[in-house]
A and B are shown apart, each in its own frame.
Chain A
């Protein structure tokens, strides 16, 4: 090879080295930028994974937890240390059957399951799918917490039951009303007739003095003086009983009247109605209603009926729990408020609530009552009705050992009229 050729080859080789160096530099820079971009992308994906509102878990081939997001930790009330490396069968007992379905059916499989780690059982809708990262096969599990849905279903069933009972009560009230009316009319007739007979007897006695005594001495009529004295009283009691039954029937009819539109609601009749319907629970207690006759709030009457009855019944239970004797119970329903809001207060002298109970009293399904006695739905529903349906407020003050006052804040529909009475109405509920 000539020197000239050698030099040309050398020059080309040097140029090639320079080119390669520059190429390496370009590629190194490119690699660095791509690594940075990849890292940023990975971090973004990690953050998205972690911020996903639904719980997500990634399991290995043996169904051992490898990765999870914050929602999964929250749902299972677990620490990262506890969850990492934990066999999923520990909290998802039926997972093996679900994964078998994924393997047979392919794609994603949805299944309702009960998860339980250390806390209470959780109703969950789990969606499972397989994926491979090129090295190993995994199972990804996306969970949907069904607690709210189950609670809503229960609430709906409860509401439907109440509605059915309401409809039944309205029907019964309507049916009872007609015979009640003619019984009442006939009692009025008997009272009138008896009054007339009594006047007739007095005229006979005036015309023939001593005749009443003589006739009464005969054995067949010896009870006449007693009848004459007691029948008017007996009919009076019948009439009083009938009036009470009529009042209860009317209250039941009004109470179970369907909700209809939002409208001004007269609060005094509403409270009296609730006292009447809840008479059985309030029996023997001193229930004082201090609500001006003309005072109105703006809302759904049936909702407010339900809330008031619920608060009164809760108050009655608190009283019985504390005193054991209903006659020591005092319940006071009174109002205050401003031009835009009326506040109804339901005060009792029951046992009050300890702080731990106060903190949870509006939680769905929380109850201090024995199994079968309370659903823990009453106050959450009351709050929902007042806050969500009326834009109002429901809160309470409670002193353990002294009693509780619930406050219902509602928008005002109309101020009390000038002639409205504000005299307390004291009623002994029951008797």
Chain B
């Protein structure tokens, strides 16, 4: 996992629960998960899981809820950090369609060695999209959080049905997305 994700996680905790909470999380984490990290370097995924686990203990949030909330925050954080990437897309639909072909290509230019998941889109006649997510990390909850962030960023509501899930033994997750009219920006 790239350092930028760790650092945005720290920002998320500090913004949501305060500096003291982050110190507590660090204290509650194993020694190796406390190291200082910088954006372009790669760190073990397990360190993030330790930090998330500690964050759940400290905040009292269940892990799923914590990860989804982080996903929402992560979208905004990444959009702020890399405005040139987000601004390439006319809307949420285009952004989702460009995850693999544009966003992950750019991510790999900025952060060589990033292990990006495979995210593909299929359009349907009724205007809905099927988003297919495939990753050894199985972080579809984080993806849902990112979709929350997408809604907030573009001021739209994206109804989703997550009927096919890797956590239920499927080889990949499939999310059927239906876009509603624009709403006031969150």
Q: Are A15 and B36 in contact (CB under 8 A)?
A: yes
Q: Are B20 and A2 in contact (CB under 8 A)?
A: yes
Q: Are A8 and B23 in contact (CB under 8 A)?
A: yes
Chain B residues lying within 8 Å of A12, measured Cβ to Cβ, are 36
CB-nearest residue of chain A to B14: A9
Q: Are A23 and B38 in contact (CB under 8 A)?
A: yes
Q: Are B20 and A23 in contact (CB under 8 A)?
A: no
Chain A at the B interface: SS class: helix
Per-position binary interface string of chain B over residues 2-42, scored 1 when its CB falls under 8 Å from any chain A CB and 0 otherwise? 00000000000000000110010000000000001110110
Q: How many A-B residue pairs have CB under 8 A?
A: 19
CB-nearest residue of chain B to A15: B36
Name the contact of B23 in the complex, choosing from A5, A15, A16, A19 (C-beta under 8 A). Answer: A5
Chain A residues lying within 8 Å of B37, measured Cβ to Cβ, are 16
Quote the shortest CB–CB distance from B7 to chain A (angstroms).
9
Alpha-carbon separation in the docked complex, A20 to B41 (Å): 10
Q: Are B20 and A5 in contact (CB under 8 A)?
A: yes
Chain B residues lying within 8 Å of A15, measured Cβ to Cβ, are 36
Q: Are A5 and B19 in contact (CB under 8 A)?
A: yes
Q: Is A135 an interface residue (CB 8 A)?
A: no
Q: Are A9 and B36 in contact (CB under 8 A)?
A: no
Q: Is A1 an interface residue (CB 8 A)?
A: yes
Task: Give the one of B19, B20, B36, B37 with max A CB within 10 A.
Answer: B36
Per-position binary interface string of chain A over residues 2-22, scored 1 when its CB falls under 8 Å from any chain B CB and 0 otherwise? 100100110010011001100
Q: Are A1 and B20 in contact (CB under 8 A)?
A: yes
Q: Are A23 and B23 in contact (CB under 8 A)?
A: no
Quote the shortest CB–CB distance from A72 to chain B (angstroms).
37
Which B23-81 residues sit within 8 Å CB-CB of chain A? 23, 36-38, 40-41
CB-nearest residue of chain B to A8: B23
Name the contact of B19 in the complex, choosing from A1, A16, A20, A23 (C-beta under 8 A). Answer: A1
Q: Are A23 and B41 in contact (CB under 8 A)?
A: yes
Alpha-carbon separation in the docked complex, A20 to B36 (Å): 11
Chain B residues lying within 8 Å of A8, measured Cβ to Cβ, are 23
Chain A residues lying within 8 Å of B20, measured Cβ to Cβ, are 1-2, 5
Quote the shortest CB–CB distance from B99 to chain A (angstroms).
24
Known contacts A1-B19, A5-B23; decide if A23 and B36 are in contact (CB<8 Å): no
A-B contact sample (10 more), CB < 8 A, given A16-B37, A19-B36: A1-B19, A5-B20, A5-B23, A8-B23, A9-B19, A12-B36, A16-B36, A20-B38, A23-B38, A23-B41
Q: Could you pull out 11 A-B pairs where Cβ atoms are within 8 angstroms?
A: A1-B19, A2-B20, A12-B36, A15-B36, A16-B36, A16-B38, A19-B36, A19-B38, A23-B38, A23-B40, A23-B41
Interface residues of chain A, those whose CB is within 8 Å of chain B, are: 1-2, 5, 8-9, 12, 15-16, 19-20, 23
